[in-house]
Amino acid sequence: MRLFPRTLCAAGRAAWRESFPLEGRDVARWFPGHMAKGLKKMQSSLRLVDCIIEVHDARIPLSGRNPLFQETLGLKPHLLVLNKMDLADLKEQQKIIQHLEREGLKHVVFTNCVKDENVKQIIPLVTELVGSSYRYHRGEHVEYCIMVIGVPNVGKSSLINSLRRQHLRKGKAARVGGEPGITRAVMSRIQVCERPLMFLLDTPGVLAPRIPSVETGLKLALCGTVLDHLVGEETMADYLLYTLNRHQLLGYVQHYGLGEACDDIASVLKRVAVKLRKTQKVKVLTGTGDVNVIQPDYPAAARDFLRAFRSGLLGPVMLDRDLLQGRPAEEP
């Protein structure tokens, strides 16, 4: 069986490009208003900020970050939090750190904010970064103001809530959700610690103005950073299957009881739909009249495939493995 055919890489990429609406385009029109306004508001609030915490998805540590953050938010102390570490394959964690250090990111923390893993490292590290910053001159009133930034749906609000649980023993202050666009309010000021007195400015997720490539866009989409319907669940499922097979991550075979791996997304989704009893009646016109035919519900199967991946049921995945190994993502 051909799991990694060169034709799949070429033909598949052509098909993904046709169905992927965001490559090289202004993504602001898919998220009207709040992205551009959010970035401007961040810039105007910089004078109030002592440090910036950028949150990103640990499954795509090297791709999908918004380059405008570094350009427009100045030289404030910067901490990168790679969240959802429980869903990421971190066997090459040291390579990730080294790669990020070459990009100038010296302070990186991997977290799982749902279970509060490694979150206790953040406030001491922020305190140290702010204390050693030459811009920090607050006199007697020691109050820390931290801006939390990132692309949509990487866990900014989850981080804030986790910090409050850890340091204030309080519940949710920021709304969380499984899709981008939950945080609409700009610059919500939320206390997360008493000693030291620390406030976070929660911000809406802001994508880069242009998505540089189809595969970067598909990685962002798989991680829930782009709304599913903008790309199409079946297109995303096709890319996910290609990625899992290419890296020999065959947990989907066991999860769905498929028996063996397969490189044809239509075949996989059909078997998933049948297993999950996701079928639908379709009228087919024949020479003798309309006939009701039972067909697999491919969109429903694709949604379940994506849900299983996003919840970790297919095993931990590193979508940036090619970049870590120094190979362009386009080469099979």
Known binding residue 311? Answer is no
Instruction: Supply the DSSP string of 210-234, one letter for each residue.
Output: BB--HHHHHHHHHTTSS-HHHH-HH
**Residue 153 marked as a ligand binder:** yes
| Cα torsion through 245, 247, 251, 257, rounded to 10 | 20
Find out whether 299 and 279 touch, Cβ atoms under 8 Å.
Answer: no
Q: 3-class SS at 245?
A: helix
Task: Compute and round to an integer the Cα radius of gyration of the chain.
Answer: 22
83 is in an annotated binding site: yes
Buried-exposed string 63-86: b where 16+ CB fall within 10 A, e elsewhere: bbbbeebbeebeebbbbbbbbbbb
Unique residue bearing structure tokens 């899709």: 179
Is there a binding annotation on residue 1?
A: no
205 labelled as ligand-binding? yes
Q: Which residues contact 176 (CB under 8 A, 6 or more apart)?
A: 155, 157, 158, 161, 182
118 annotated to a ligand binding site? no
- CA 253 vs. chain centroid, Å, equals 24
Contact (CB, 8 A) for 151 and 220: yes
Q: Is 84 annotated as a binding residue?
A: yes
Using N-to-C axis directions, what is the helix angle for 298-310 and 214-222, rounded to 10°? 80
Task: Give the residue numbers of the binding site.
Answer: 83-86, 153-158, 205
Task: Give the residue numbers of the binding site for GTP.
Answer: 83-86, 153-158, 205
